[in-house]
């Protein structure tokens, strides 16, 4: 009982020391609960069966990611506890001097750890339950669900999962803490405050050489990521070189940063800069590995989150563009089959179920191919894409048929002279080369007659529906073109349902198997939306989940390191006071030291991220997407709130530590 009371007293006395530790635990528990509680969202949202399946799939996916998150949090908690033990070594030494055994000291630490853990768990769960209600709004907006049945949601499965993972982490921590205390000698505990970290003095020439090598390695990694993204192997090599270059960069800088500043006497000798810069040099010098890891975590946070958000916006925009009708049915049967007559009438599905529909055909000719459309630049394209299927047919469609679909889809209609054609496409990578070819002039031959391109650029448009822009090209020709000698033929029907869309789709799906067995494929807006929403949801939540955890981890490691240094350097600040240094100047020096320490890895991470986002843009452009400013601003806001929050807590806690008497 006495040990329990002493533990409570110690926690109250050292509560401010526990601020970063407590904040990290609470945020970790809350985030863990929120992202594992998504299974409870469907209870209050009016989702269809497919959307409910997507949420369940997403929850299973996030459960797998949670294992990685738990491991990261476990290492973070153990790292944080090291700071607390280091801060209290002298206190433990006094306990031993007064006659306590190491077992009793271990029990005190065990009780304190258990109490802090339980309080953090309860507060974290409370914050998580509240935050999960706001997450319901995010999920509802993502799935465009009706929130008329909004009610308070509590996920018992997420609670159990959080408690189990948290319990495993804390059991490991308690074993670590007990082992850490028992291995120390009394003299080490009593003199801990007198000892600082050993600073290795590195050879200046070697440090400069390593720094220059790091710049070269990172430069080549940036080049591969933005200019040579031809294969997955080069992408992996770029990441590997980026990681190696980051470690070499921090290792090199730590060896000559002070010498570099000392070369500017005016800056170095101004105010307390000598003291501040030596403090920063000491911190960087002793945390090369940690700073490199933090920089990489921040880089992954910025790149993953901004890219995931950009892809979400891109997919959402593509959905609006790519689903202009409720349903498009395409006949792919080898023998010519009209969708309405040969398929829908045969399976006894009446077009009276549609409020409106249009029909049309496309034809394939052996001399209207990908190669023939880009013939003026074919050799240049083949050098970059040697496996391009140049002999594949591009569908040919009569202008009247295309205009029917364009009008039905709410797009512009066109006219053609008897020797002209236009190219309809929206797939970004193909448009780039098709436009280059059209600018030089393209001629195609059908039925012995030549046709020239009317416009020197592709017209954006589509025939089939899709969740992304994937139309590589449709050649639209005059109505008098002879289509009797076609190699292939496709029949299309686009329609809008009559009445309630969901009920109309349920009715149509009953005929789906019979339609497919007749060689046709039906793409519906509801189905495409559901599939795309599932992908968007997984990308957003995984990106946000990992991004926030990486951000908290990097900020917490920096904060704990800075607090540890502030505790070690308390005597130095007091000595400066004794020789007459104004307290405002000391506080300013402390603020500058912490600010630079936090900003240093963030600036390098931002530089990495510029090229990382450029690389992501190249990948996204192949999917007709690109990064947007909103995603970058959202990422910046996330960093300001979490990273900036840790910086402020670290500054005020360090300020209190150096002011202790």
Predicted confidence (pLDDT) at residue 508 exceeds the cutoff of 80: yes
Report the alpha-carbon distance of residue 650 to residue 567 in Å, rounded: 12
Written as one string, the DSSP assignment of 176-201 is HHHHHHHHS-HHHHHTGGG--PPPPP
Give the closest residue to 304 by CA, choosing from 51, 46, 545.
545
Overall average pLDDT of the 99-106 stretch: 65
Report the alpha-carbon distance of residue 295 to residue 288 in Å, rounded: 11
Query: SS3 helix, strand, coil % of the chain, rounded to 5?
Result: 70, 10, 25
Residue 636, C-beta contacts closer than 8 angstroms, at least 6 positions apart:
none
443 versus 561: the higher-pLDDT residue is 443
Position 421 confidence tier, pLDDT thresholds 50, 70, 90: very high
Predicted confidence (pLDDT) at residue 177 exceeds the cutoff of 80: no
Phi, psi at 237, each rounded to 5°: -65, -40
Question: 145-159, 351-365, 396-410, 606-620: which range is least confident on average?
Answer: 145-159
Predicted confidence (pLDDT) at residue 314 exceeds the cutoff of 60: yes
Question: 191-200, 266-275, 420-429, 648-657: which range is least confident on average?
Answer: 191-200
Overall average pLDDT of the 194-219 stretch: 74
Position 180 confidence tier, pLDDT thresholds 50, 70, 90: low
Report the alpha-carbon distance of residue 15 to residue 19 in Å, rounded: 7
Position 193 confidence tier, pLDDT thresholds 50, 70, 90: low
620 versus 292: the higher-pLDDT residue is 292
Both tokens of residue 270?
């101004």
Question: What's the pLDDT score for residue 283?
Answer: 65
| DSSP state, residue 485 | T
Question: 204-208, 410-414, 525-529, 601-605: which range is least confident on average?
Answer: 204-208
Average pLDDT of the chain is 79
- Cα dihedral across residues 246, 247, 252, 256: positive or negative: positive
Helix (H) or strand (E) holding 195: none
Position 44 confidence tier, pLDDT thresholds 50, 70, 90: very low
Angle (nearest 5°) at CA 366 between 365 and 371: 110
Overall average pLDDT of the 561-587 stretch: 78
Question: What's the pLDDT score for residue 376?
Answer: 84
Coil, strand or helix at 491? strand
Distances (CA, A) of 5 to 108, 175, 410: 9, 22, 75
- Tell me whether strands 474-477 and 396-398 are parallel, antiparallel or unpaired: parallel
pLDDT tens for residues 474-499?
A: 999 999 888 888 888 899 999 999 88
Contact between 548 and 523 under an 8 Å Cβ cutoff? The reply is: no
SS3 labels along 311-325: HHHHHHHHHHHHCCC
pLDDT tens for residues 250-268?
A: 888 776 666 666 666 666 5
Report the alpha-carbon distance of residue 413 to residue 411 in Å, rounded: 7
Percentage of the residues of the chain whose pLDDT score is greater than 70: 75
Predicted confidence (pLDDT) at residue 201 exceeds the cutoff of 60: no
Predicted confidence (pLDDT) at residue 221 exceeds the cutoff of 80: yes
Domain edges within the chain: 1-195, 200-323+527-560+578-640, 333-518
Position 553 confidence tier, pLDDT thresholds 50, 70, 90: confident
Predicted confidence (pLDDT) at residue 5 exceeds the cutoff of 70: no
Both tokens of residue 490?
């496709």
Phi, psi at 234, each rounded to 5°: -70, -35
């Amino acid at each position: 009982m006495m040990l329990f009371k002493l533990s409570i007293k110690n926690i109250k006395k050292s509560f401010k020391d526990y601020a970063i530790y407590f904040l990290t635990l609470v945020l970790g528990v809350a985030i863990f609960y929120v992202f594992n509680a998504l299974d409870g969202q469907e209870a209050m949202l009016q989702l269809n069966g497919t959307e409910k399946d997507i949420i369940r799939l997403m929850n299973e996916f996030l459960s797998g990611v949670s294992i990685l998150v738990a491991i990261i949090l476990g290492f973070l908690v153990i790292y944080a506890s090291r700071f607390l033990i280091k801060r209290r070594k002298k206190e433990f030494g006094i306990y031993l001097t007064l006659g306590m055994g190491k077992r009793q000291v271990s029990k005190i630490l065990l009780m304190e750890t258990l109490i802090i853990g339980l309080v953090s768990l309860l507060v974290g769960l409370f914050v998580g339950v509240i935050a999960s209600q706001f997450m319901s709004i995010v999920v509802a907006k993502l799935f465009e669900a009706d929130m008329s049945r909004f009610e308070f949601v509590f996920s018992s499965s997420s609670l159990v999962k959080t408690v189990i993972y948290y319990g495993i982490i804390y059991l490991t921590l308690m074993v670590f803490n007990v082992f850490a205390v028992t291995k120390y000698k009394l003299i080490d505990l009593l003199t801990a405050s007198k000892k600082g970290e050993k600073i290795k003095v590195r050879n200046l020439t070697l440090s400069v050489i390593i720094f220059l090598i790091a710049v070269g390695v990172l430069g080549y990694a940036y080049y591969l990521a933005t200019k040579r993204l031809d294969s997955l192997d080069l992408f992996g090599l770029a990441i590997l070189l980026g990681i190696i270059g980051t470690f070499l960069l921090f290792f090199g800088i730590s060896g000559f940063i002070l010498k570099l500043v000392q070369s500017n006497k005016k800056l170095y000798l101004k105010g307390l800069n000598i003291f501040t810069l030596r403090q920063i040099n000491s911190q960087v010098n002793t945390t090369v590995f940690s700073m490199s890891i933090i920089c990489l975590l921040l880089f992954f946070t910025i790149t993953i989150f901004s890219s995931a958000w950009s892809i979400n916006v891109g997919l959402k925009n593509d959905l609006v563009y790519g689903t202009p009708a409720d349903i498009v049915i395409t006949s792919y049967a080898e023998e010519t089959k009209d969708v309405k007559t040969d398929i829908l009438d045969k399976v006894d599905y009446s077009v009276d179920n549609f409020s409106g529909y249009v029909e049309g055909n496309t034809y394939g000719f052996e001399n209207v191919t990908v190669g023939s459309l880009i013939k003026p630049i074919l050799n240049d394209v083949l050098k970059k894409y040697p496996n391009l299927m140049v002999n594949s047919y591009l569908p040919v469609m009569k202008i009247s048929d295309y205009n029917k679909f364009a009008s039905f889809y709410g797009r512009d209609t066109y006219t053609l002279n008897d020797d002209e054609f236009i190219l309809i496409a929206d797939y970004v990578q193909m448009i780039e080369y098709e436009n280059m070819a059209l600018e030089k002039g393209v001629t195609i031959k059908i039925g012995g007659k030549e046709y020239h391109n009317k416009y020197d650029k592709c017209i954006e448009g589509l025939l089939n529906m899709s969740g992304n822009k994937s139309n590589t090209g449709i050649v639209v020709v005059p109505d008098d073109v002879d289509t009797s000698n076609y190699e292939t033929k496709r029949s299309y029907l686009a329609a809008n349902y009559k009445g309630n869309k969901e009920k109309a789709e349920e009715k149509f799906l009953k005929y789906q198997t019979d339609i497919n067995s007749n060689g046709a494929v039906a793409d519906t807006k509801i189905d495409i939306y559901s599939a795309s929403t599932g992908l968007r949801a997984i990308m957003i939540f995984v990106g946000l989940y990992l991004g926030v955890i990486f951000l908290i981890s990097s900020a917490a490691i920096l904060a704990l390191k800075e607090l540890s240094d502030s505790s070690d350097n308390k005597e130095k600040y007091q000595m400066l006071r004794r020789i007459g240094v104004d307290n405002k100047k000391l506080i300013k020096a402390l603020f500058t030291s912490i600010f630079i320490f936090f900003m240093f890895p963030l600036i390098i991470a931002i530089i990495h991220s510029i090229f990382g986002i450029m690389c992501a843009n190249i990948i996204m452009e192949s999917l007709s997407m690109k990064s947007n400013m909103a995603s970058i601003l959202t990422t910046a806001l996330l960093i300001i709130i979490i990273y900036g929050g840790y910086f402020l807590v670290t500054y005020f806690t360090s300020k209190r530590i150096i002011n202790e008497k």
